[in-house]
């Protein structure tokens, strides 16, 4: 099972020109590099998905940053999983704390979106993690989110879900005063793993990638993502700088 490094571009890259500069930067950083053990996924705002599809670099997969739970119809402003599939998207980030916070998304919404993504052959990257006020009840928060968001997801589907442990307090835009240690991340990984083993059995759980997100940078990727046994990373701010992002991929690829 390959590692996976996902770029969460959030609401950045404001024009076609900016996109071209960004992709050229990635092309430059990727020259002569092959990451046989790591899949790279770029998740831009929807409007750039088609442009990324025309990019000649085929080493990188595409993902979206949201999806609606219906396939088609009168849902003004929403994006269907069928559209994502038809535009070449393989992944979608769901349950991100910024959507929970600013758009009031809850676990039930996320569950419907996961079901819709899987129904259409798109792999969800499900974000779970405690916020600053929940630090002392981290395990309970993570398990509740997993239970709710994965309700009804069966063996045969769950293998296509990537679980991202992303402590909300460690996200760079929340101005973290410190980051989790290797041990903290390892503990969270074990909590998630135990839940998956309980729900889906050991054999299936081995096929589910658990990754880390929150202020991942070249100078901490080994400690937080590799030494903790995570299978990759969800990268926000540092994914906007091609050099940093590809450096993180290199570190995770090993």
Which residue lies nearer to ligand PGA by CB, 182 or 220? 220
28 touches 242 (CB < 8 A): yes
Give residue number: closest CB to ligand PGA. Answer: 236
Q: Taking the complex as a whole, how short is the minimal distance between the CB of residue 146 and ligand PGA, in angstroms?
A: 18
The DSSP symbol for 99 reads H
| Cα–chain center distance at 216 | 12
Task: Using alpha carbons only, give the angle 19, 24, 29 rounded to the nearest 5 degrees.
Answer: 125
In a 10 Å sphere around its CB, with 0-12 CB exposed, 13-18 middle and 19+ buried, how is residue 173 labelled?
exposed
Q: Taking the complex as a whole, how short is the minimal distance between the CB of residue 81 and ligand PGA, in angstroms?
A: 21
| The binder of ligand PGA chosen from 12, 148, 172, 220 (CB under 6 A) | 172
Q: Taking the complex as a whole, how short is the minimal distance between the CB of residue 176 and ligand PGA, in angstroms?
A: 8
Q: Residues with catalytic annotation? A: 96, 166
> Which is it for the CA torsion 202, 204, 207, 209, positive or negative?
negative
Which residue lies nearer to ligand PGA by CB, 120 or 215? 215
Please report whether residue 171 would count as binding ligand PGA according to CB under 6 A: yes
Please report whether residue 111 would count as binding ligand PGA according to CB under 6 A: no
Measured between alpha carbons, how far is 54 from 138 in angstroms, rounded to an integer?
Answer: 42
Please report whether residue 234 would count as binding ligand PGA according to CB under 6 A: yes
SS3 60: strand
Please report whether residue 213 would count as binding ligand PGA according to CB under 6 A: yes
Question: Mask of contacts with ligand PGA, 148-167, x by CB under 6 A?
Answer: ------------------x-
Strands 123-128 and 91-94: parallel
Contact footprint for ligand PGA (CB under 6 A): 8, 166, 171-173, 213-216, 234-238
């Amino acid at each position: 099972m390959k590692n996976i490094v996902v770029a969460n571009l959030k609401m950045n890259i404001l024009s076609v020109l900016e996109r071209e500069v960004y992709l050229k930067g990635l092309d430059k950083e990727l020259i002569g590099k092959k990451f046989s053990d790591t899949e790279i996924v770029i998740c831009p705002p929807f409007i750039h998905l088609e442009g990324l599809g025309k990019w000649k670099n085929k080493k990188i997969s595409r993902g979206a940053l949201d999806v609606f739970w219906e396939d088609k119809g009168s849902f003004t402003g929403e994006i269907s999983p069928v559209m994502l599939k038809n535009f070449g998207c393989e992944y979608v980030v769901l349950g991100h704390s910024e959507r929970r916070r600013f758009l009031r998304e809850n676990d039930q919404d996320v569950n419907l979106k996961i079901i819709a993504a899987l129904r259409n052959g798109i792999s969800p990257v499900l974000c779970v993690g405690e916020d600053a006020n929940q630090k002392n009840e981290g395990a309970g928060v993570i398990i509740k989110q997993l239970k709710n968001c994965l309700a009804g997801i069966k063996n045969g589907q769950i293998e296509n879900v990537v679980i991202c442990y992303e402590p909300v307090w460690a996200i760079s835009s929340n101005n973290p005063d410190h980051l989790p240690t290797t041990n903290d991340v390892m503990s969270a990984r074990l909590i998630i793993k135990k839940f998956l083993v309980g729900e889906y059995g050991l054999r299936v759980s081995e096929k589910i990638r658990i990754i880390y997100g929150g202020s991942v940078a070249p100078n901490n990727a080994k400690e937080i993502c590799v030494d903790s046994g995570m299978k990759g990373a969800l990268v926000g701010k540092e994914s906007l700088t091609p050099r940093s992002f590809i450096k993180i991929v290199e570190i995770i690829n090993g």
